[in-house]
Chains A and B, each alone.
Chain A
Amino acid sequence: MNPGYEILEHPADVGIEARGPSLADAFAQAAEGLMSLILDPAHVAQRESRRIDLAASDTEQLLVRWLSEVLYLFDGCGFAASRFEVRLPAPASLAATVYGEIFSLSRHTVRTDVKAVTYHLLNIEQGPDECVVRVYLDI
């Protein structure tokens, strides 16, 4: 099993399928996938970090809230994240440190605007050796 993410086709927008040995890893990979849609991650240095703590009523809502938070960090706070350390200390609860830097048009190669994270065809599979999450984004 190779942890990572894959971009999925959609008639109008785009999806991500992310996998990891644990659910927390899959969440981290999904965030990498999201940011890769917005910017080329190769040019995002890890100069600073931000802390994110979230709770939700279930894992699906947690995933949407997590990715929405990463998106808000970029679009609302101008912070481009490229590495994600995620822990899920309790069911539907997340604690993460994200590493990146302040967004700069001159330093970073932009790809596309992501408007929002959706629940459309959202899926979370948790197996003994691998977790896979699938989520679609409105672009």
Chain B
Amino acid sequence: MPGAFRSVDPYRHILPMTYKSGMRIEGMVYADAELLQHIESDLTCEQIANVATLPGMVGRSLAMPDAHQGYGFCIGGVAAADLQDGVVSAGGVGFDINCGVRLLAADADPGDVRDRLEPLLSQLFRDIPCGTGKKGALDLGLRELNGVLREGARWAVLRAYGREEDLSRIEECGCLPGGDPELVSVRAKERGRTQLGTLGSGNHFIEIQYVSDIYDAPVAAAFGVRQDQIVVLIHSGSRGLGHQVCTDYLDLMHDGMKRYRISVVDRQLACVPVGSTEGRQYLAAMAAAANFAFANRQMMTHWIREVFRRVIGDAGLHVVYDVCHNIAKREEHLVDMSRKTVLVHRKGATRAFPKGHPALPSDLRDVGQPVLIPGSMGTASYILVGTERAMKETFGSTCHGAGRAKSRTRARAGISADTLLQDMARRGVLVRGQSKAGLTEEQPDAYKDVHRVVEVVHATGIARKVAKLIPLAVMKG
């Protein structure tokens, strides 16, 4: 709603507790004037306020510059709960648990791939199933699937999908501890069993890009990224398994709320106390689903390396980093001047830890955590680095992408797939997608301006620009 915010500076806008009855904490949006207008035009404000009504939330109910209306929580929302008094909400993580992004950096320049983009894309399409109804190459038995849910990316590496050194460059080393396959339903496993190693559809993609700009040379070097380097960005999540886990636990939490005498203003915010049986069960199932997504991106990494090897020769393709966008984490943060462990919900937001943080691998501890921001199809993506400012203000979090600006219906109506493909070709981007409707729904104009979003996070200091990546070819599900 316009006028709801009190701006403290051009990029920080408080949603006061007086905005809505029942708010226990303030809200805060990070946005410039134009992005704020977008945010005020849908239900994002209402959702920031609704999250602020949940029991035991600490600090502020936050929204990043790419925020837009979601379910319960807005997309681009961050909120932290006290472990004793607070709640965990499955909707605060979302259906696509550990939807996230992984960046690979190749030993190659644009000249090495420019004439080979067609065969690269064709081979990627052959080797990595994507889109609705496509099954993965593996049909996992229950014991193997349980192993995936416990071990995450390590499960894949132990089966020769990738390298041991990949793991340290993944958030949580590719395995969220405590993933319990026993707490993942049979139907979630049925959905996931044939989907390991598949890209998915919607806004999931694999993009071949090159590094067009370096903004912070020493940090880029530490990340393993250089000017004009070819990189590959993977955006994918936990597929049907994660979606079913969230569905199952939302249902469980609805029933649990009665027992704990919690009522919520929005049913999609169904929640239970963090320390309750249901809360602990959800977090263990969520971890299992997150591990499925880590394993998924690990397998796709392996196949991407094989595709490059076949088409242009061995290209290295080391992992720069892999981040979650939809997750809940127990992390230590400064709350009311003292350090405490809280449960941070990030729904369409990225962890952005600063240099020195113990969660980072030793080779990144002097510089900080890579933050990967995919742009909309055919526009730029960015690499940023986490900061102390993020730790102070946003529970170590920042934006996750560009955020939608247009509904899928309007995006489809605005342009035909053929026109879109021609536009992309004129921009020098080769695009292949499984469905024409899927392509038009993901056109760049359907999203906010990623450059704007990144400028805001950079200006506010909750992440800092390191490099810009320009796409050459896009594979969409």
B-binding residues in A (CB < 8 A): 7, 9-14, 38-39, 57, 60-61, 64-65, 68, 72, 75-77, 103, 105, 108, 110-113, 115-120, 122, 136, 138-139
| Contact (Cβ within 8 A) A115 B95 | yes
Q: A61-B254, A105-B133 are in contact. Are A120 and B407 (CB under 8 A)?
A: no
| Contact (Cβ within 8 A) A9 B409 | yes
* Contacts A14-B409, A113-B201 supplied; 10 other A-B pairs, CB < 8 Å: A11-B68, A11-B69, A11-B404, A11-B406, A12-B408, A57-B254, A113-B202, A120-B268, A138-B94, A139-B202
- Complex A-B: 17 CB contacts under 8 Å: A10-B408, A11-B68, A38-B132, A61-B251, A64-B251, A68-B247, A76-B244, A103-B133, A111-B437, A112-B437, A112-B441, A113-B202, A116-B243, A116-B246, A118-B268, A120-B266, A120-B268
B 425-436 to A, binary, CB cutoff 8 A, 1 in contact else 0: 000000000110
Chain B residues near A11: list those with CB within 8 A: 42, 68-69, 404-407
| Contact (Cβ within 8 A) B133 A110 | yes
B408 partner, pick from A64, A108, A113, A139, beta carbons under 8 A: A139
> What class of interface size applies to chain B in its complex with A?
35 or more
| Contact (Cβ within 8 A) A65 B251 | yes
Q: Bound state CA distance, A65 and B252, in angstroms?
A: 12
Q: Bound state CA distance, A105 and B129, in angstroms?
A: 12
Is B216 positioned at the interface, with any CB of A under 8 Å from its CB?
no
Is B139 positioned at the interface, with any CB of A under 8 Å from its CB?
no
Q: Inter-chain contact count A-B, CB under 8 Å?
A: 109
Chain B residues near A103: list those with CB within 8 A: 133
B430 CB → nearest A CB, Å? 23
Chain B residues near A138: list those with CB within 8 A: 71, 94-96, 243
Q: Bound state CA distance, A112 and B134, in angstroms?
A: 12
B267 partner, pick from A9, A13, A119, beta carbons under 8 A: A119
Q: Bound state CA distance, A112 and B438, in angstroms?
A: 7
Chain A residues near B202: list those with CB within 8 A: 112-113, 115, 139
| Contact (Cβ within 8 A) A113 B200 | yes
| Contact (Cβ within 8 A) B190 A77 | yes
Chain B residues near A75: list those with CB within 8 A: 191, 240, 243
Within 8 A of A (CB), among B183-225: 187, 190-191, 200-202
Is B124 positioned at the interface, with any CB of A under 8 Å from its CB?
no
B 223-257 to A, binary, CB cutoff 8 A, 1 in contact else 0: 00000000000000000100110110011001100
| Contact (Cβ within 8 A) B132 A12 | no
Q: Bound state CA distance, A122 and B91, in angstroms?
A: 15
Is B410 positioned at the interface, with any CB of A under 8 Å from its CB?
yes
| Contact (Cβ within 8 A) A110 B131 | yes
Scoring B132, B270, B405, B434 by chain A CB atoms within 10 A of each residue's CB, the highest score goes to: B132
| Contact (Cβ within 8 A) B72 A120 | yes
